[in-house]
């Protein structure tokens, strides 16, 4: 606390000594650096927040489409050609999702694989 008192006295006195001025300069440099870090982190947080929102939207669209496809499959149980077309569409969607996941993996890291429960 003595250090803080010296700073207080130096700031509010007419003639702070050289050591106190040096200490204030160090503090000012530290505060400025801390503020720069805070601004950078704020920008990173904003970007991450946008990315999470975009991902939630994409997941919502995928989920909705899967629900539609499930209903189409139920409605097409007696139409083998339509069932094949729906299966092809599901395969294409899975490939697109797999490619999107792979594109976000760091170099040299394999994407997560499907696991079988109990394995």
The pLDDT profile of the chain, 119 residues, written as one tens digit per residue, is 566 667 666 666 656 677 777 887 888 888 888 888 888 888 888 889 998 998 888 888 888 888 888 888 888 889 989 888 888 888 888 888 888 888 887 776 665 565 555 54
d(CA 82, CA 115) in angstroms, rounded, equals 30
Residue 119, pLDDT score = 47
Residue 16, pLDDT score = 61
d(CA 45, CA 56) in angstroms, rounded, equals 16
Residue 108, pLDDT score = 67
Predicted structure pTM score: 0.48
d(CA 65, CA 63) in angstroms, rounded, equals 5
Which residues have CB under 8 Å from 93's CB, separation 6+?
62, 65
Which residues have CB under 8 Å from 21's CB, separation 6+?
10
């Amino acid at each position: 606390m003595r250090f803080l008192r010296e700073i207080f006295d130096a700031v509010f006195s007419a003639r702070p000594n050289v050591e106190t001025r040096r200490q204030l300069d160090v503090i000012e440099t530290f505060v400025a650096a801390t503020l720069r870090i805070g601004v950078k982190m704020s920008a990173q947080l904003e970007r991450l927040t946008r990315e999470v929102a975009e991902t939630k939207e994409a997941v919502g669209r995928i989920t909705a489409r899967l629900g539609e496809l499930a209903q189409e499959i139920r409605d097409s149980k007696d139409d083998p050609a339509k069932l094949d077309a729906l299966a092809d569409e599901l395969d294409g969607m899975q490939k697109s999702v797999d490619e999107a996941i792979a594109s976000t993996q760091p170099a040299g890291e394999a994407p997560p694989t499907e696991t079988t429960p109990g394995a």
